[in-house]
Chains A and B, each alone.
Chain A
């Protein structure tokens, strides 16, 4: 069947000659099974274009939003009446209430605990000036710019060429995590945990990812991993000990 798809693609890429095009069109009009294949191909192209457009729009907007934030004008505050002042106090009280509820939630929900941890510690990766790891450093720069698809390409390229590179695996896992692709992130950290490194954060990061993924039994699995991290004094053991008390 791939041959059929190749044939269909050749038509739409306009690499068939006139005679071949006519044969294709006749087959499409008379052979329903073939027409369905063509419909699948066209529908897929349309879905892919929509996906592409969503990705592009997000990329294009990323910088614009940042620029808008940078040039947000200072709004002058008009003189307030006593009534307005009461409304302001009431609004502030509501805000405080919501903030307290939110903070309570943030501190207690394992999913949010994990998300906050990643946000605080891994929004940015530190770069070095070591020229021997160009692709890794370019990947880190892309990650810090939130260009996760590019970052992933580079980290996976490094992984492919240097399978023993623990940093590349860790960063690829973190990139998947930022993309909320938890399954891939878990896989990366799992593989990282099995690597022989002097200091290995694989188990700890896998546990954090499981908490953030928050599927049935993820919490139990995360607890077991944190326990292992503490017992074997792996990287992240202090944090793991702290979290075990909260979970």
Chain B
């Protein structure tokens, strides 16, 4: 439990410390990958993918105060990992003829009520995602970096400090401009 506390504090500390604790966490429960292979009959790559995905979700929940601490870190992480494994087993079972390489549906889409989600889900195509992935490489390294950092749960203020922007408002404007730049490229090529 003492190590749990240390990791939890570290994850909420500055970015460098957070990265150190992420590595600790990654190594500490890496044996889950074997569990995924044995218990859910996943191949190593799928189990590894479920583990790293679960770890990132857990980290984001912790830094956003969505982990209430009622269970141990191990139990919490295992629960998320287990759910990711079940998702993969289901997808493998329904897409036996396909090579499954996509991530589980992100939380973002699930924030919408069902009727709206159905409308938007139809528009979130693999072609659109492939195009975005391609164009992300064409909007400049800085833009990509700012967007990825924000996705990593860093606030605009934290990004401003790390990347030496004058303040959080500048980061927010930059971020939205980068998104707009990406959207324009998608419109042109799409």
Q: Does B169 contact A (CB under 8 A)?
A: no
Q: Which of B19, B103, B112, B113 contacts A49 (CB 8 A)?
A: B103
Q: Does B68 contact A (CB under 8 A)?
A: no
Count contacts on A: residues with CB < 8 A to the other chain. 48
B23 and A60 contact, CB distance less than 8 A: yes
Q: Does A100 contact B (CB under 8 A)?
A: no
B23 and A63 contact, CB distance less than 8 A: yes
Q: Tell whether A28 pairs with B152 under 8 Å between CB atoms, given A51-B136, A64-B30, A149-B145.
A: no
A47 and B141 contact, CB distance less than 8 A: no
Q: Nearest A residue to B177 by beta-carbon distance? A: A2
Total CB contacts across the A-B interface at under 8 A: 127
Q: In the complex, what residues of B have CB within 8 A of residue A9's CB?
A: 176
Sample of 16 further A-B pairs with CB below 8 A, known A63-B27, A176-B141:
A5-B183, A12-B111, A29-B115, A35-B119, A35-B120, A39-B120, A39-B124, A40-B132, A44-B182, A45-B108, A46-B124, A48-B136, A48-B147, A50-B133, A53-B52, A60-B27
- Complex interface bits, A148-162 against B, C-beta within 8 A gives 1, otherwise 0: 011011001100110
Instruction: A42 to B179: give the CA distance in the assembly, Å.
Output: 12
Chain B contacts with A in 111-125, Cβ cutoff 8 A? 111-113, 115-116, 119-120, 123-124
B23 and A25 contact, CB distance less than 8 A: no
12 residue pairs from A and B, CB less than 8 Å apart: A14-B111, A28-B119, A29-B115, A35-B120, A39-B128, A43-B124, A43-B128, A56-B152, A60-B22, A150-B16, A152-B141, A176-B141
- Complex interface bits, B24-53 against A, C-beta within 8 A gives 1, otherwise 0: 001100100000000000000000000011
Q: In the complex, what residues of A have CB within 8 A of residue B170's CB?
A: none
Chain A contacts with B in 1-22, Cβ cutoff 8 A? 1-2, 5-6, 9, 11-12, 14
Q: In the complex, what residues of A have CB within 8 A of residue B136's CB?
A: 47-48, 51
Binding site for B on A (CB under 8 A): 1-2, 5-6, 9, 11-12, 14, 25, 28-29, 35-53, 55-57, 59-60, 63-64, 149-150, 152-153, 156-157, 160-161, 176, 181, 184
Instruction: A140 to B136: give the CA distance in the assembly, Å.
Output: 28
Instruction: A35 to B124: give the CA distance in the assembly, Å.
Output: 10
Count contacts on B: residues with CB < 8 A to the other chain. 46
What's the nearest-Cβ distance from chain B to residue A168, in Å? Answer: 12
Q: Tell whether A42 pairs with B141 under 8 Å between CB atoms, given A49-B103, A53-B103, A59-B19.
A: no
Q: In the complex, what residues of A have CB within 8 A of residue B13's CB?
A: none
B141 and A5 contact, CB distance less than 8 A: no
Q: Which of A2, A55, A176 contacts B180 (CB 8 A)?
A: A2
A181 and B52 contact, CB distance less than 8 A: no
Instruction: A127 to B186: give the CA distance in the assembly, Å.
Output: 43
Majority-rule SS of B interface residues = helix
Pick from B22, B52, B108, B163 the residue with the most CB of A within 10 Å: B108
Instruction: A161 to B164: give the CA distance in the assembly, Å.
Output: 9
Q: Tell whether A5 pairs with B26 under 8 Å between CB atoms, given A28-B116, A47-B133, A52-B152.
A: no
Instruction: A34 to B54: give the CA distance in the assembly, Å.
Output: 32
A42 and B148 contact, CB distance less than 8 A: no
Instruction: A50 to B102: give the CA distance in the assembly, Å.
Output: 9
